[in-house]
């Protein structure tokens, strides 16, 4: 597990440095020390800490509570308040910001560590629940999209079909799931022929419309072996998800795909009418793991796409 990066917001320099030494001795990394509410906002936006220790009673125009309110409009960082004293009115204001804990001065190592670890765990759990809910909503939207397309048109046109370039293709289901899982892109490849030896890009979704693979000549015809999949084709054929890193790609194409934010991938085979159609790549731009619920969501999305492609091709 990566070391948590903590931002200290404290206007008394001696106290801030003492707290910094304590945190380092406990194994944490210091993201910065801010002496005012305004500086805390700047640090939080620039350094993106995992947690903030915020003194409530800051000198200057902005106290710790006001700074916390501003920071929460920028990003969801857990905040623990540090205070020597606080009246009822101040505590009532602090509660409205949803703090992850309180540390009362003078503090001790055990109190600091327990508050931080509980806050980090709770924040991680909240994020997992939010992501799970978003994935379920995305899958529900995908099923709704599929049924609506079938009811209205009795077919779905692939986005990269030259004859229907204005159509959204499979992108709605790719987009909803990609956003829910915080992915960099989802790429759908089709097999060229029945021997599964070559692939061609059929459709894709990219985060915030970043550069598409469609512009690369590599994806017009590429072998699964070049993507590090040759040892895994049997696993894919039996429906298993295969996880890869950019280091598994052939050296001659590695830098090209890295430029398209291929870092960590989960790959599934898509079947259409019980026949292998191609592969779908769920791509993240960072090194990460794939929780079981995300893999299960990928399976469901692959099944939805397989059904949509099958209905689309029946009309051709």
pLDDT per residue as tens digits for the range 273-295: 889 999 999 999 988 888 888 88
Round to whole Å and give the CA distance between 80 and 112: 10
pLDDT of residue 75: 87
Do 276 and 186 form a contact (C-beta atoms < 8 A)?
no
5-107 maps to CATH 3.40.50.2300: yes
| Three-state secondary structure call for residue 138 | helix
pLDDT of residue 142: 65
pLDDT of residue 217: 83
Domain with CATH 3.30.450.40 in the chain: 126-314
**Bridge partners, 189 (sequence order):** 201, 279
Nearest to 242 by CA among 278, 269, 210: 269
Residues 6+ positions from 224 with CB-CB distance below 8 Å: 196, 197, 198, 199, 230, 233, 279
Q: Can you list the residues of the chain whose pLDDT is less than 70?
A: 1, 86, 139, 142-169, 311-316
Q: Can you tell me which residue has the tokens 């804990």? A: 101
Round to whole Å and give the CA distance between 122 and 93: 21
Number of CB atoms found within 10 A of residue 284's CB: 20
Tokens of 4: 């948590």
Tokens of 206: 């990219």
CATH value of 126-314 in 1.10.760.10, 3.40.50.2300, 3.30.450.40, 3.40.50.1370: 3.30.450.40
Domain with CATH 3.40.50.2300 in the chain: 5-107
Do 5 and 120 form a contact (C-beta atoms < 8 A)?
no
Residues 6+ positions from 201 with CB-CB distance below 8 Å: 160, 187, 188, 189, 190, 213, 214, 219, 220
Do 97 and 80 form a contact (C-beta atoms < 8 A)?
no
Q: Can you tell me which residue has the tokens 């794939």? A: 290
Cβ density class 4-27: b for 16+ within 10 Å, e for less: bebbbbbbeeebbeebbeebeeee
Length of the chain: 316
């Amino acid at each position: 597990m990566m070391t948590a990066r903590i931002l200290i917001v404290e206007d008394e320099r001696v106290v801030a440095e003492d707290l910094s030494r304590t945190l380092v001795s406990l194994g944490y990394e210091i993201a910065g020390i801010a002496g005012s509410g305004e500086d805390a906002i700047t640090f939080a936006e620039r350094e993106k800490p995992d947690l903030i220790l915020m003194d409530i009673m800051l000198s200057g125009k902005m106290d710790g509570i006001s700074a916390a309110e501003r920071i929460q409009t920028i990003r969801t960082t857990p905040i623990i308040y540090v205070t020597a004293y606080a009246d009822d009115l101040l505590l009532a204001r602090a509660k409205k910001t949803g703090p992850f804990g309180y540390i009362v001065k003078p503090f001790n190592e055990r109190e600091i560590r327990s508050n931080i670890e509980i806050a980090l765990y709770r924040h991680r759990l909240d994020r997992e629940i939010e992501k799970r809910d978003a994935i379920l909503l995305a899958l529900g939207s995908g099923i709704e999209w599929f049924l609506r397309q079938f009811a209205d048109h009795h077919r779905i046109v692939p986005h990269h079909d030259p004859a229907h370039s204005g159509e959204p293709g499979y992108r709605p289901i790719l987009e909803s799931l990609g956003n829910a899982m915080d992915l960099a892109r989802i790429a759908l490849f089709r097999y060229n022929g029945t021997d599964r030896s070559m692939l061609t890009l059929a459709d894709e979704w990219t985060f915030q419309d970043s550069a598409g693979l469609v512009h690369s000549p590599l994806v017009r015809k590429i072998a699964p072996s070049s993507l590090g999949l040759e040892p895994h084709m049997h696993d894919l054929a039996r429906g298993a998800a295969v996880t890869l890193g950019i280091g598994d790609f052939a050296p001659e194409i590695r830098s090209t795909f890295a430029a398209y934010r291929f870092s960590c991938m989960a790959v599934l085979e898509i079947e259409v009418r019980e026949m292998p159609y191609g592969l779908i790549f769920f791509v993240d731009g960072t090194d990460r793991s794939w929780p079981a619920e995300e893999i299960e969501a990928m399976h469901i999305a692959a099944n939805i796409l397989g059904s949509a492609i099958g209905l689309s091709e029946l009309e051709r």
